[in-house]
Structure 1
Amino acid sequence: MPPLRLRRSGPAPRAAREDFVLVPDAPFPDAGAPRLFRAADGVALRAAFWKPAGALKGTVCLFQGRAEFIEKYGETVADLMARGFAVATFDFRGQGGSQRLLSNPFKGHVADFGDYRLDAEAFMREIVLPHCPPPYYALGHSMSAPVLVALALRQPQWFERMVLAGPMIGLPLARAEFFARGLATGLGRIGFSGSYIPSGADRVMALKPFEGNRLTSDAARYARSVALITKEPALALGSPTIGWVHAAFRAMTATALAGVPERLRTPTLAISAGRDRIVDPLASERFADRIRCGGKLRLAGARHEILMERDELRDLFWAAFDAFVPGRRELA
């Protein structure tokens, strides 16, 4: 069965959602209504936070990957709350329940990953710092890795520690990356930045059949994401734009640049997936080797979305997380 295509009707939705999408069998702790806030450039973003009763170890700030949304992480939120943490998360611009920026709302597009950093900075200033108990820890997936590294370099006092799951530091095939980078750069320069990549469309790859998917080996957790998008297709994204791909390459290059990991003062644990076919686990391990304080772990058998994997792989992730967090900054 081919990937399902999204149907557009009427004007593109530009406003941030003021509700959560709930489906049976998808855990989602009660968070009340979403909190809406704005980035420095005025883009409206959707957030949520949870503060369990009793003594807390601090707040884990959860940063998502491309095409993800708050509701997808309900189980992870519950796991963190059970560990005694408050949790805060939000949808990046152009995806999930946050404001869509192009006339076609299914194109997740930014011209520069600095826009995502604006989102993250506003999230910290408007949601986390005023409303959530310190100390603060960051947990980021995939495309959040370059965003968090840039954020931690600018605001080293915010996070005691960071955990990066399946971090997007490089792509699996060097030749493919070189070709795609050149193609995205060339097409972007001649005015196609907001267009889909070649062969891209409004189809949602997350709705493909479970068999052969590149995200997770856990059928039940995969089905939860499918159920959420099927109930509310407005949460979903189609293919990336040429501009997004160009911006992603620039962000990955900047993150791995000589001197960047070495300047990072926030202790950082990079956890890669051994069977990742979306990002390059070796790139994240090379990055981790250059950090002054932190570590790395590869989960053999895991696909890209480690937090959506089967129980035995998630248990390994949480064992590493528990050994690393909570903890304090060890570098001045």
Structure 2
Amino acid sequence: MIAAVAAAGPDLVNIASNPMPEGGQVGYFLTSDKVRIRYAIWPRTGEKHRGTVCLVQGRTEFIEKYFETIADFRKRGFAVATFDWRGQGGSDRLIAGDLGYVDTFDDYWCDLQSFHTEILLPDCPPPFYLVGHSMGGLVSLFAGINDRLMFDRVFLSAPMVGLDHQPLSFAGMARVAGALNFVGLGKLPIGRKGDRLAAEQTFPDNPLTSDRTRYMRMVDVVKARPALGIGAPTISWAAAAMTSMAEVGRDSFPGKIRVPVLMLAAALDQVVSTGTIEQLGLRMRTGHHMVIAGARHELFMEKDAIRGQVLAAFDAFITEQTG
């Protein structure tokens, strides 16, 4: 494993346009392979005790981006626990610079498994519900295979099971990226339009959200702490991602998932493939999918009408178990 590049302190960015929910606890934990991960947990605020939402982010994201969504879950009676994946946010970076890097997606599974052991089990009330967005959604699907007892239910927002307008098959793209990685080019950047850092001038044609206020919150947080931002993914990251997406595409994959899953897809997604999410949802034995009309990729960052549908879907899905 590449030596980690130490992150700054674990404190969260609290600014007027993106206020931090009260009552949180923030710190670091070490994964089983000794990477330092920034995490935060919040107790519930509602009268009901409904367990803990474990919120896992997409590529480039950080805890602060989900303050509003964390407050929404807490109002519903859930404690919330979340962390920054290795290589992004306030966690240790794996290479110098602002590029996204990972050796294999199994490393993200290591982050989630270590978080479950070090933080969720000792410090958070069960039952545990896994909520994953984009890249975090892809990792969450593997969690539903690797250990069916970790989480009672899995709720996914635009999971990265395929890319929009990809030129080759997952397996073909994985072979190309893997070959480049093998010859020593793994740390070089490879990216698309959606990998641009958010800025005020990029809002009009951004693929993430149609809500300007929520988009600018992301910009404001990174302005307040530039170290939270990362740029394009590396070839190594791409090889790892394509390998994992190719695995999801295998005929045998859906039957291996042994926990209830609900996947939400964004009808106007230009980052991940809505069609691939639909195909997977139709093949799953323990899960299903919904397509949110008019939505771009960042479902939790969209306009109120769209977010309302997302949270209503979450409520109905979890209520099936909690009542």
TM-score greater than 0.5 by the shorter chain: yes
Shift of 1:13: 5.4
Alignment match, 1:90: 83
Asked if the contact 2:5–2:95 (Cα under 8 Å) also holds between the matched residues in 1, the reply is: no
- Are 1:297 and 2:290 matched, yes or no? yes
Alignment match, 2:62: 69
Shift of 1:299: 0.7
Alignment match, 1:189: 182
Structure 1 pair 72/199, CA: closer, same or farther in 2 (3 Å)?
Answer: closer
Structure 1, residues 31-64: CA drift from partner, whole Å, max 9, x if none?
4441210111100001111112544111111010
Alignment match, 2:245: 252
Task: Give aligned-pair identity as a percent.
Answer: 42
CA distance in 1, matches of 2:109, 2:196: 25
Aligned to 1:263, which of 256, 259, 264?
A: 256
Code of the residue aligned with 2:214 in structure 1: it is R
Alignment match, 1:138: 130
- Are 1:233 and 2:226 matched, yes or no? yes
Alignment match, 1:109: 101
Alignment match, 1:19: 11
- Are 1:51 and 2:43 matched, yes or no? yes
State the Cα RMSD in Å: 2.0
Aligned to 1:151, which of 143, 148, 151?
A: 143
Asked if the contact 1:31–1:48 (Cα under 8 Å) also holds between the matched residues in 2, the reply is: no
SS in 2 for 1:18: coil
SS in 1 for 2:202: coil
Shift of 1:198: 6.9
Any unmatched runs of 5+ in structure 1?
1-11
Asked if the contact 1:16–1:44 (Cα under 8 Å) also holds between the matched residues in 2, the reply is: no
Alignment match, 1:3: none
Structure 1 pair 27/191, CA: closer, same or farther in 2 (3 Å)?
Answer: same
Code of the residue aligned with 1:171 in structure 2: it is L
Asked if the contact 1:160–1:327 (Cα under 8 Å) also holds between the matched residues in 2, the reply is: no
CA distance in 1, matches of 2:267, 2:96: 38
Shift of 1:223: 0.5
CA distance in 2, matches of 1:71, 1:25: 11
Shift of 1:194: 1.3
Asked if the contact 2:59–2:134 (Cα under 8 Å) also holds between the matched residues in 1, the reply is: yes
Asked if the contact 1:185–1:246 (Cα under 8 Å) also holds between the matched residues in 2, the reply is: yes
SS in 1 for 2:289: strand
Q: Between Structure 1 and Structure 2, how many residues are aligned?
A: 315
CA distance in 2, matches of 1:290, 1:176: 22
TM-score, with structure 2 as normaliser: 0.92
Structure 1 pair 176/277, CA: closer, same or farther in 2 (3 Å)?
Answer: farther
Alignment match, 1:206: 198
SS in 1 for 2:39: strand
Structure 1, residues 180-218: CA drift from partner, whole Å, max 9, x if none?
545423311210111112799xx9522252110010000
Any unmatched runs of 5+ in structure 2?
none
Asked if the contact 1:215–1:305 (Cα under 8 Å) also holds between the matched residues in 2, the reply is: yes
* Greater CA drift, 320-329 or 271-280: 320-329
Structure 1, residues 272-315: CA drift from partner, whole Å, max 9, x if none?
00000000011111111111122211011100000000000001
Shift of 1:263: 1.6
Alignment match, 2:270: 277
SS in 1 for 2:316: helix
Alignment match, 1:7: none
- Are 1:29 and 2:21 matched, yes or no? yes
Shift of 1:175: 2.0
CA distance in 2, matches of 1:186, 1:51: 46
CA distance in 2, matches of 1:316, 1:55: 22
CA distance in 1, matches of 2:157, 2:202: 24
